[in-house]
């Protein structure tokens, strides 16, 4: 009878897997760069991304998220890290806070809870048990602030972990280089 337990990976297999991950990440980055450059080339000169705007992205996560291009770039970067559920959750919370209708708020709160908060949710975010349980209770009678604590936790996680890596990433560096080169050409 064949064994159901896989043998441990050899060091060479682990290295091959790491190389494949890096290739996939670079490939995603290159594909993203092509799409972003096409997008930027087809926008009016008023809307084009400038090195100054990209410099603002490097000042804080808040400034990055205030820029539509910054948001799109960061979102794509998070996909390469397999952590885009964080930005998606944060965005859903921003939309949720603007809801005025209690019926819509109830419906949206349940969707956010099922998608991001509940244990084993399809896009489960990394929050502590206490926060998860508090939200579980709050969703039964949702208010505009019922996701605030989780949103703060996710924001801090992105700010502390993903955002610094984003600023060092090939995606950010390549886009900054191409934007700077385009501006120098006139």
Question: What is d(CA 123, CA 86) in angstroms, rounded to the nearest whole number?
Answer: 9
pLDDT band at 12; cut points 50, 70, 90: low
Question: What is d(CA 146, CA 135) in angstroms, rounded to the nearest whole number?
Answer: 6
Return left, alpha or beta for 6; rule: phi > 0 is left, psi -120 to 50 is alpha, else beta: beta
The more confidently predicted of residues 87 and 54 is: 87
Give the mean model confidence (pLDDT) for residues 115-143. 97
Determine the pLDDT at residue 22: 60
pLDDT band at 165; cut points 50, 70, 90: very high
Determine the pLDDT at residue 119: 94
Return the percentage of the chain with pLDDT > 70, whole number.
Answer: 72
Determine the pLDDT at residue 49: 83
Query: Does residue 92 register a pLDDT over 80?
Result: yes
Determine the pLDDT at residue 179: 80
Phi and psi of 80, rounded to 5°? -70, -25
| String of DSSP letters for 126-177 | ---HHHHHHHHHHTTS--TTTTHHHHHHHHHHIIIIIHHHHHHSHHHHHHHH
Determine the pLDDT at residue 32: 56
pLDDT band at 95; cut points 50, 70, 90: very high
The pTM score is 0.74
The alpha-carbon radius of gyration of the chain (Å, integer) is 20
């Amino acid at each position: 009878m064949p064994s159901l337990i896989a043998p441990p990976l050899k060091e060479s297999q682990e290295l091959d897997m790491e190389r494949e991950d890096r290739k996939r990440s670079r490939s995603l980055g290159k594909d993203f760069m092509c799409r972003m450059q096409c997008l930027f080339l087809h926008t009016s000169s008023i809307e084009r991304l400038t090195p100054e705007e990209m410099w603002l992205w490097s000042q804080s996560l808040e400034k990055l998220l205030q820029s539509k291009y910054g948001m799109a770039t960061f979102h794509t970067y998070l996909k390469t890290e397999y952590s885009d559920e964080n930005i998606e959750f944060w965005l859903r919370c921003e939309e949720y806070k603007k809801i005025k209708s209690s019926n819509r708020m109830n419906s949206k709160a349940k969707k956010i809870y099922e998608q991001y908060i509940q244990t084993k949710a399809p896009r489960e975010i990394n929050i502590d048990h206490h926060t998860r349980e508090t939200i579980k209770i709050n969703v039964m009678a949702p208010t505009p602030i019922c996701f605030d604590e989780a949103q703060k936790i996710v924001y801090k996680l992105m700010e502390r972990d993903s955002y610094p890596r984003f600023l060092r990433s090939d995606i950010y560096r390549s886009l900054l280089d191409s934007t700077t080169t385009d501006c120098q050409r006139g």
